[in-house]
Structure 1
């Protein structure tokens, strides 16, 4: 598959998940329009009052972009192959990226202070020698050993 195909199919995976989320919102809107007995309310909420379109559209665009980018990255590196692989990675892109954000080293790299002087390298926290006996607390917390 080409890079463009991975982008398009991954974006379609992101759009598929957004379509499911939108379908769920429509069900909530329908439920809000009905009384507990199933009759239509006298003043039911309108579609535009119940669903906030600007954020919904922004999320849809973000899912398309994230899906396409993740499928391209996984596909071109050989981690996902074929149409189904690209579609699946595209659909799972927000969850995949959220999980990557939970990795301490990545989180620290992204959150480094902007005031750090260029050219001055600091030793990452997990590289500082541990002088105490036993495993470091963060290693125990993450399930590793020191």
Structure 2
């Protein structure tokens, strides 16, 4: 897949699939969106190219203000990860647009199911605004992978 651009909002926010990722810019967006410190992780571009079916960025006059990625099993199941919108741009429909664009990309790749895990306070966003339905799921924290702060 090649980068695909769509103008999504009336105020000109552009959604771009598989955009060239700047690691520092994406790390900074995640820090702002999730309220943490800027962390240097394995380079985003490398991880996305290796593991993601697609990723979508939301841009306001060239500034990255939102992001989501989709990983997959190579078949009919895709998994939504890392949905983030800069706090200054939240509550404008950008997150919903990102999820819809990611779902469109996954469907275009032949996926039948898009899975997402989320914390309880995000239920209205994912279930009501994005159209996911609730399911039973499980989560297992693997030993040795906890962050230093105990998250």
**For the superposition of Structure 1 and Structure 2, which TM-score range results when normalised by the shorter chain?**
under 0.3
What is the TM-score when the length of structure 1 is the normalising length?
0.25
What is the TM-score when the length of structure 2 is the normalising length?
0.25
Query: Which protein is richer in strand relative to its size?
Result: 2
Query: Which protein is richer in helix relative to its size?
Result: 1
Larger Rg: 1
